[in-house]
Each structure stands twice: as C-alpha cells, then as structure tokens.
Structure 1
C-alpha cells in the first residue's frame, strides 16, 4: 500500500512586533518544495494542507536572489504543484490519517503551528499511533506543546534540532519572535543539537525527525523516506 504524507504549513503571514508594526512570517518555500519532491519521487502520496486552508502565504525573501532554489523554481513553474499552495486544504477538513506528518517552517510557524488546537491534536494523535513526525527550521515550533499519553512533551528525551539561536540572531529576529526555538525545545526536555549555521543538519530519533534550517529540508525528507521504508 502506498505510504501517505501530510505536509502541514503555517497560515500566518505577519508577525506582531514593535509598536504595532508587522514583519513577515509566512512559509519559507524551500522547506515545502524540496521535501515535496523528495517524497513524491519516492512514490509517496503527498497531501499539502495549511492551518486555515486556502492560499499559503510565502515569505518573499524565500523567493529572492540567493535564496530561491531550483526546487522553488520547479514548484512554482508547474501549475499542478503551484495550485497546492494557492488552494491548500484546511487542516480541519482533513478526513484521513497519514503515515507521516511533516511541518515546514517560516517564522509564521512560531505562531499558528505552536498554538492551533487542531495542530496540537493532530500531532498528539499521530504520535500515539506510532506515526512518523518530521519538521524543519521553525517547523519544530509545532512540537513544543503536543504531549504523550504520560503528559510529557513528545520531544522530552528525544534528539531534536531546529533553527538555532545563532541563526535567529543572524537574521535579526531574536527580539521579534515569541520564543527562541532552540531554547523552547530544550525547556520541553528535548536533547537539542545543531550543526554549523546554514549548513544541512538533520536528526532522527525513532519516529521523530527534525532539521535545522532551509538547507536541511531535503535531508529531513530523506530520513522520512527511510523511516517509512523500513
């Protein structure tokens, strides 16, 4: 039977910062596009959804010179794949289970993937069923609140990674995000590690697979493929 994977994106476009000013949140496109191609090329059935459904906001910085990757070009250059983010399924409208759930990042993930009760419920159900959960960059923000049956966070005692404190400082967002992801994962009992800033780095601990930054997107997807193929 064909394995199924849900890619669940943020729907949050703006972040509240400063005195009512707004900064970009949104999805970092590479973190959805690269895994999508790795997973579909492995023969998996991939569904793209977002917290609210409809058009997924994409951080324009992820489409700027120096950041727009060949996978982003390929994704936006094909009407079928482009439609997946222009008309995404709302999480509340999903009526099936998945072998794996994957959370791409973008700063918007720090808000809705971290707080939406439907996201939390989905991940708790996925974990309880023994399904695979993957996340990259700011996507692991969605892993902070879900709990195991014991009441412990699902990341407690698990090797994890995500956007590091030093990377957050490098992009000038340390004082503008609601929490530093590295610190938050550690506070929930996660065994956090990171590679060099901006380099590919991914960690698998059982059914929990995480990646550090956009460059880690394909690596996380490959580990998901491995987990679902064994």
Structure 2
C-alpha cells in the first residue's frame, strides 16, 4: 500500500472582500475517503501547519472533520521520500499561498522526480505553477491538465478577487488546458500527473491517482 500526502491551504482571507476562505471541504474529504477505503495511508499537510481554515459545507463529511481538526504538518517539514503521491486539494485560499511556497514546489518536484504521482483539483493546480523538475524543465510544460476555468471563476463572481487567472497561468507555464463544461466533473490524467477541474471532479481525481499508483 502507498502513503499519500494531501496538502491544504493555510490562507483564510478571500482577497479584500472581508470574506473567509480556505481549503474546500469536499475536495479534501472525498479523496481522503477514497484513499483510505483502498487501504492507503494518508497524511495531511498545509502550508503553515496546524489546523487550516476550511470553506464549504461539512454536511456529509463529518467523518473527515476530526481528521482535519487533529492538525496538519507544515509542508516544509514533510519528507518527500515518505510519499508515493501528493494530492493538492482546492479552495480559493490555494491561489494565494500555494504558488508562493517554495517548500511545496520543492516537495512536488522531488516526489515526481522519484517516480511518484502528483494530483490536484479545482484551484489546487495553482500549486503546480512554480514546480521546476531537476534539470530545469517545468512540470507543466507540454502536459495536459484541468483546473478551475475562467468561465467558472466568472460564474462565482471572483474573477476580480483572485490574484490571477488559474487557467491563464497554467497555459503560460506550458500546460495544455482541457476544460470541460462548467461545474461538471472533468478529470485529466497525463501519466503520473492527475488534475481535475472543480469540486465535482474530486473523487474522480482520487480514483485516477490510485490508477496511476498501480500502473
């Protein structure tokens, strides 16, 4: 069985709106269920460690609440040699602290370079945008991916709130974005890189990660 690290955002402020954000509950809870039900070990980390801020409805996910409340290790303290896969849960908070975390970029590069699987869903792919592999190639260069689209960001009214367009940043890093219909499940697997477009894609991303691990 594998050991999987799920990474959550530590960022709690939704820009200058005065509203709170964090990781999106279902995008962490559904993959956690899928991984653990398959017998894998799941560790939780966040950029700052401790108990990270959450966003979204806990209804139906009460089994995950004590797991999250128990706290997370800081990404900088995670040993990449321990993990067969790293999964980046989404939530708008990721748009602020995932790209700026050198520790996260280094962790992802190390796990991937060792033959591990990297996955992300919704806004989680923001954490992939600064990952450079040993040798200097960008993780995303030429890779097919999915992520929260400009159309979806506009639909939730946050285009002018988020610090950048995720879809455009992925493209700028050399990725080939494969968008699906707004808010419908869309999972893209490119070898050992697995990404999903939105909350509806979370379970599918987890299942695709398990497929990549067994390949």
Alignment TM class, shorter chain as reference: over 0.9
Counterparts of 1:111-150 in structure 2, within 5 Å, are 111-150=96-135
Counterparts of 1:76-225 in structure 2, within 5 Å, are 76=65, 82-95=66-79, 96-225=81-210
Q: Secondary structure at the match of 1:107?
A: coil
Note the residue ranges of structure 2 that are not aligned, 5 or more in a row.
none
CA distance in structure 1 between the aligned counterparts of 2:2 and 2:62, rounded to whole angstroms:
26
CA distance in structure 2 between the aligned counterparts of 1:131 and 1:22, rounded to whole angstroms:
39
Q: Secondary structure at the match of 1:228?
A: helix
> Is 2:23 the partner of 1:24?
no
Equivalent residues of 1:48, 1:85 under 8 A apart: no
- Count of matched residue positions in the alignment of Structure 1 and Structure 2: 214
> Is 2:63 the partner of 1:74?
yes
Note the residue ranges of structure 1 that are not aligned, 5 or more in a row.
77-81
1:170 Cα deviation after fit = 0.5
CA deviation profile, 1:47-92 (whole Å, cap 9, x unmatched): 0111111111001xx11xxxx553x24323xxxxx14344112222
1:163 Cα deviation after fit = 0.3
Runs of 4+ in 1 over 6 A off after TM superposition: none
1:176 Cα deviation after fit = 0.8
1:107 Cα deviation after fit = 0.6
Residue 79 (structure 1) aligns with:
none
Q: Secondary structure at the match of 2:4?
A: strand
Equivalent residues of 1:26, 1:107 under 8 A apart: yes
CA distance in structure 2 between the aligned counterparts of 1:212 and 1:188, rounded to whole angstroms:
17
Q: TM-score, normalised by structure 1?
A: 0.88
CA distance in structure 1 between the aligned counterparts of 2:76 and 2:41, rounded to whole angstroms:
19
CA distance in structure 2 between the aligned counterparts of 1:25 and 1:177, rounded to whole angstroms:
11
Of 143-152 and 43-52, more deviation after overlay is shown by 143-152
> Which of 46, 51, 76 lines up with 2:42 in the alignment?
46
CA RMSD in angstroms comes to 1.4
